[in-house]
Amino acid sequence: MSKIKKNLSDAEMFKGWQEEPTFETELEEEPVRRPVTSARKEPADDINSAYFTPELKEAVGKALLELKLTMYKAGTVDYQIKVSCQGNQVLLTAIPAKVKAEQPGKQPGQRGGKQRG
C-alpha cells in the first residue's frame, strides 16, 4: 500500500477513479409511460348488473324508493321483493314478510320478571 499524498486538489485525488452506477445515481433512461385509457368502458363486475346503464339504475332506484314509501304509508314495514318475468316485462312485486306466530300463554309486550300488581 502506498502513502497518501498531501495537499492534492480534488481533481488529482479522484484521478482514475470511476463511480459505479446505482439506482440512486443513475438517471432514468426510459421515459415514464402514462397508462393508456381506452374509450371503451370496463366490463361490469357482475354479469347480473351488466345491462344496467346509469340512467336505468337511477330509474329503478327511484321506483323502488316510491314503492318503499307506499308500503310504509300502508303500514307494511317488513316486506320482500319478488322478481318475475312475463313476456317482455320484468315485474318487481312487494310481498309482506310473514309474521312469526306468537307463542301461546304470552301476551304481546309482556316481559318476564316480577309482575306489578
Residue 98: the pLDDT is 78
Residue 41: the pLDDT is 58
Residue 62: the pLDDT is 94
Of the candidates 77, 96, 93, which has an alpha carbon nearest to the alpha carbon of residue 85? 93
Nearby residues of 82 by Cβ (< 8 Å), 6 or more positions away: 92, 93, 94, 95
End-to-end CA distance of the chain: 108
The Cα 105–Cα 33 span in angstroms is 76
Residue 96: the pLDDT is 87
Residue 107: the pLDDT is 55
Report the chain (117 residues): mean pLDDT per 10 consecutive residues: 79 82 70 62 68 89 92 89 92 82 54 53
Residue 58: the pLDDT is 93
